Amino acid sequence: MAKSSSVLIKRYTASDRFNHWFVAITFILLALSGLALFHPAFFFLTHLLGGGTWTRILHPFIGVVMFAGFAGMMLRFWKLNYITDNDRKWMKQIVDVLANRHEKLLPVGHYNAGQKYLFWTMVVCIPLLLITGVLMWQPYFAPLVPIVVARLAVLLHAVAAFVIIAGIIVHIYAGTMWVKGSMRAMTRGTVTHAWAKHHHAAWCDEVSKRDK
Amino acid sequence: MALQTLDIQRRSATTTPSPSVRQTTEVAKLIDISKCIGCKACQTACMEWNDIRDEVGSNAGTYDNPRDLTENSWTVMRYSEVEVEQGKLEWLIRKDGCMHCADPGCLKACPSPGAIIQHSNGIVDFQQEHCIGCGYCIAGCPFNVPRISKKDNKAYKCTLCSDRVGVGMEPACVKTCPTGAIVFGSKEDMIQHAEERVVDLKERGYGKAGLYDPQGVGGTHVMYVLQHADQPELYHGLPKDPAISPMVSLWKGVTKPLMSLALGVVALAGFFHFVTVGPTETHDEEEEV
């Protein structure tokens, strides 16, 4: 075991990591400032961006910046997220996944089905958030939008934001607390061979074969 | 309009009671369209009392001037030429502005605590110093009334002269109306007065005359006497049965607490997963930092 732990496998390039954290930082700012305007219980979060008015001013600009960043991630990781039959099986075994019974699961490739579905959820939600966000953007675009459209936009914006925030909470939990050894993939770019073998066996074999 | 007060019935984005020890009488402004001559004295009085001036606009070929409500024009006369009976032209002139709904869509939509308040007398008032300029009130309003200023990005609309009413005076438009088409008093008295007017109009041949106090928004504190109450749309598109849009109700109704709760549950589920099932670790502790 000591041997496999000393071998590091490259998982993300510096550019991948920059892109991820760029989106992550903007996402956190957007989620907190957006929640602030969603429910009064979160209104205190407007202080994060300097008050209610500043929140209203900055949130949409940050949103556009995040979209640009996410577009980069979309291009980078699109092909790695195609859903396969193995992924469907993985989803059916979600109880085993949650119970950490990895021995019962099929070998996972670069991403597991949970990661892939999160990716596709973001692929749907982020452009939807951009479009609905532009429609409600004061004072630039909202005045041009018919009220009926504005009502649909605010509702869809809230729903899409809810879905994506819930998804990202799971993502953060899995990456920082649940699956030990994952964090370094996004901070240092490498994972241990043991980690790769354990969580992404098919990818691990593929990388080992390629490198030989 | 900001006014320190103790009679706040409802306050935007606020989940605890607001200062409400003082109970005031429910008031209403009644606009009798059959008596309106379209002189626009009310528009002028509104500008004068509130001390704001709109830009001089251009003539669009109608008497409507300004053409629409703006952040500076909180009330405008809407002129509609209609033929309800063939060959009988009628000029219906409606004083447009905030209806002061009992169930205000603007207040429901507003995310900023205290930017919109509803007094116990029924007046719905914007508190611009708390307004963040998001425009949600526009999406919430069933009557398309609030306007955001291009100068300061705050929302403005008719205050029903809350500052005058608060000290026992009638709104400026009421005081100035030369024909008595606009009257003001307790909502009860105004409904009674309207009923008398409706009887009179029916005697004069307006069989469908009636009071416009739409129940879809819980009734309003600005009401109309209409000659053709069966067709309010004739009056520059006055909605027949206005209500807060289902999309707004969904957005600021059930989804708001449910989604907030669900996010909390997701986060808690993560925590409890961690302390019950625990993390998955690969076998080399020294690497797992």
Examine the domain organization and report whether B54 and B127 are in the same domain: yes
Q: Which residues pair with B224 in a beta bridge?
A: B31, B212
Hey, what are A42's tokens? 């979160």
Q: What is the pLDDT of residues A183-197, one digit of tens each?
A: 999 999 999 999 999
Quick check: is B69 in a domain? yes
What DSSP string runs through chain B? -----S-EEEETT--S--S--S----EEEEEEGGG-----HHHHHHHHHHT--PPP----SSS-SSSS--SS-S-EEEEEEEEEETTEEEEEEEEES---BSS-HHHHH--STTSEEEETTS-EEE-GGG-----HHHHH-TT---EE-TTT--EE---TTHHHHTTT---HHHHH-TTS-EEEEEHHHHHHHHHHHHHHHHHTT-TT-EEE--GGGT-BSEEEEETTTT-GGGTTT--SS----HHHHHHHTTHHHHHHHHHHHHHHHHHHHHHHT--B--S-GGG--
Instruction: Name the pLDDT band for B284 (thresholds 50, 70, 90).
Output: low
Query: Residues B148, B19: one domain?
Result: yes
Closest-CA residue of A relative to B128 is A53
Res A211: pLDDT: 76
Q: Record the tokens describing residue B288, joined without a space.
A: 């797992």
Lowest mean pLDDT among A58-67, B17-26, B232-241: B17-26
Burial class (CB in 10 A: 0-12, 13-18, 19+), B242: buried
What range does the domain containing B247 cover? 243-273
Chain B contact for A143, CB < 8 A?
yes
Domain assignment present for residue B189? The answer is: no
Residue B214 lies in a domain: no
- Show which of residues 50-69 on chain A sit within 8 Å of chain B, judged by CB atoms: 51-53, 55-56
Q: Which residue(s) pair with B116 in the sheet?
A: B126
Residues 117-156 of B with CB under 8 A from A: 130, 132-136, 138-139, 141, 144, 148, 150, 153
Tell me how far the alpha carbon of residue A41 is from its chain's centroid: 25
| Domain identity same for B14 and B142 | yes
- Mean pLDDT score of chain B, rounded to an integer? 94
Question: CB–CB of A56 and B134 under 8 A?
Answer: yes
- Helix (H) / strand (E) element for A114: namely helix A113-135
Residues B152 and B256 in one domain: no
What pLDDT, in 10s, does the model give residues A90-115?
A: 999 999 999 999 889 999 999 999 99
Q: Does A138 touch chain B (CB under 8 A)?
A: yes
pLDDT-derived band of residue B1, with 50, 70 and 90 as boundaries?
Answer: low
pLDDT tens-digit readout, A40-94: 999 999 999 999 999 999 999 999 999 999 999 999 999 999 999 999 999 999 9
Residue A188 near residue A135, CB atoms below 8 Å: no
Tell me how close the Cα of B119 comes to any Cα of chain A, in angstroms. Answer: 20
Residues B44 and B135 in one domain: yes
B265 and B122 belong to one structural domain: no
Indicate which residue of A20, A157, A171, A193 is catalytic: A171
> What's the burial of B214, exposed, middle or buried (CB within 10 Å: 0-12/13-18/19+)?
buried
* Per-residue confidence band for A4, with pLDDT thresholds at 50, 70 and 90: low
Smallest Cβ–Cβ distance between B279 and the set A37, A39, A180 belongs to A180
Asked if residue B283 is part of any domain, the answer here is no
Residues B18 and B114 in one domain: yes
The per-residue pLDDT for range A118-133, each reduced to its tens digit, is 999 999 999 999 999 9
Residue B64 lies in a domain: yes
Rounded-to-5 percentages of helix, strand, coil across chain A: 75, 5, 20
Q: Do B152 and B266 fall into the same domain?
A: no
Which of B125, B152, B179 terminates a domain? The answer is: B179
Q: Is residue B165 part of a domain?
A: yes
Dihedral angle over CA of B78, B80, B84, B86, nearest 10: 170
Residues 6+ apart with CB under 8 A from A10: A189, A190, A207
- As given in the structure block, the two tokens for residue B39 are 């002189």
A39 is catalytic: no
Instruction: Characterize the bridge pairing of strands B27-32 and B222-226.
Output: parallel
CATH of the domain at B73: 3.30.70.20
Q: How far apart are CA B195 and CA B185, in angstroms?
A: 15
pLDDT of B285 strictly over 50:
no
* Each residue's pLDDT tens digit, B94-144: 999 999 999 999 999 999 999 999 999 999 999 999 999 999 999 999 999
Q: CA-CA distance, A29 to A37, in Å (whole number)?
A: 13
Q: Which residue has the higher pLDDT, A3 or B275?
A: B275
Cβ distance of A158 and B262 shorter than 8 Å = no
Q: Stretch B147-170: mean pLDDT, rounded?
A: 96
Single out the residue of A206, A14, A77, A7 nearest to residue B282, CA to CA.
Answer: A7
Inter-residue contact B65 to B6 (CB < 8 Å): no
**Residue B3: band (very low, low, confident or very high) from pLDDT cuts 50, 70, 90:** low
Structure tokens at A33: 């400032």
Q: Mapping DSSP to helix (H, G, I), strand (E, B) and coil, where does residue A191 land?
A: strand
Sign of CA dihedral A9, A11, A16, A18: negative
Work out the average pLDDT over A155-184: 96
**Which domain-ending residue is among B159, B179, B199?**
B179
The Cβ of residue B16 has, within 10 Å, a number of other Cβ atoms equal to 6
- Reported confidence tier of residue B287, pLDDT bands at 50, 70, 90: very low
End-to-end CA distance of chain A: 20
Same domain? B163 vs B261: no
Is B1 an interface residue toward A (CB < 8 Å)? Answer: no
Q: Quote the distance between the C-alpha of residue A174 and its chain's center.
A: 11
CA distance A89 to chain B (A): 20
Check the CA dihedral B31-B34-B36-B38 and report its sign.
positive
Whether B1 maps to a domain, the answer reads no
- Which residues pair with residue B76 across a beta bridge? B96
Interface contact flag, B281 A165, Cβ < 8 Å: no
φ/ψ region of B167 (left if φ > 0, alpha if ψ in -120 to 50, else beta) reads alpha
Q: List chain B residues with CB under 8 Å of A194.
A: 282-284, 287
Q: Which of A55, A151, A192 sits opposite B282 (nearest CB)?
A: A192
Q: B107 to chain A: which residues are within 8 Å by CB?
A: none
Q: How many domains does chain B have?
A: 2
Residue B203 lies in a domain: no
Are residues B171 and B73 located together in one domain of the fold?
A: yes
Question: In the prediction, which pLDDT does B2 show?
Answer: 54
Same domain, B150 and B263: no
Task: Please indicate, yes or no, whether residues B160 and B267 belong to a single structural domain of this protein.
Answer: no
Task: Assess contact for B226 and B80: CB atoms under 8 A.
Answer: no
For residue A10, give Cα distances in angstroms to A124, A186, A193, B227.
Answer: 29, 10, 10, 79
pLDDT exceeds cutoff 90 at A208: no
pLDDT of B50 reads 97
pLDDT above 80 for A212: no
The ipTM is: 0.91
Interchain proximity A177–B247, CB inside 8 Å: no
Residue B120 falls in which region: left (phi positive, over 0), alpha (psi -120 to 50) or beta = alpha
B13/A181 touch (CB, cutoff 8 Å), yes or no: no
Cβ atoms within 10 Å of A120's Cβ, excluding its own: 13
Of B147, B179, B211, which one is at a domain's C-terminal end?
A: B179
